[in-house]
Amino acid sequence: MKNYSRILLALVAVFAFTFSNAQDLPKTGAVIRVDADKVQLVPGETFETTLTIVRSKADRKTKFETPVVQEMEGLHASVSATDQADTYLLRLTPTTLLEGTHLLIIKGSGPNRRYLTSKALSVKMTDGESLASVDQ
């Protein structure tokens, strides 16, 4: 009877692990994940975070180009590839960005961009008395 309990417990653990990993994948296409959904910028400082393309099982072999960031007056934004596949570095440097909260859109580029879901990032510009990022 002990062996059956152990086997059942092991099967439940494997099922739970498999199900939780499946929840992280999109059903179709791919999505852009950002380490920080909310960013707080300070004048004169550059903020960096990681972007990751998470693919569905069906789109594991789809080729995606480096994501792009929409132009925003007063904010220099760049995305560059890293050594890891599907991982990019996003750099945000305010130049003349007005104080307040702004919405920054990160989207796909290239011929397969329609399969990559865009990501909205909340960017708050402060007067310099704040933290570099806020994840809450």
Within the chain, residue ranges assigned H as helices are 2-24
Q: Is residue 54 within 8 Å of residue 31, measured between CB atoms?
A: yes
Band of pLDDT at residue 7, cut at 50, 70 and 90: low
**62-78 per-position pLDDT tens digit:** 999 999 999 899 999 99
Residue 27 has pLDDT above 70, yes or no: yes
Tell me the Cα Rg of the chain: 19
Query: What does the pLDDT average to over 22-49?
Result: 86
Query: What does the pLDDT average to over 94-120?
Result: 93
The pLDDT score that the predictor gives to residue 129 is 56
